[in-house]
Chain A
Amino acid sequence: DGGITQSPKYLFRKEGQNVTLSCEQNLNHDAMYWYRQDPGQGLRLIYYSQIVNDFQKGDIAEGYSVSREKKESFPLTVTSAQKNPTAFYLCASSILGNDEQYFGPGTRLTVT
Chain B
Amino acid sequence: QVHLVQSGAEVKKPGASVKVSCQASGYTFTGHYMHWVREVPGQGLEWLGWINPNSGDTHYAPNFQGRVSMTRDTSISTVYMELSSLRYDDTAIYYCAKRDDYNIKIWGQGTMVTVSS
Chains A and B come from one and the same complex: no
A residues lining the B interface (CB < 8 Å): none
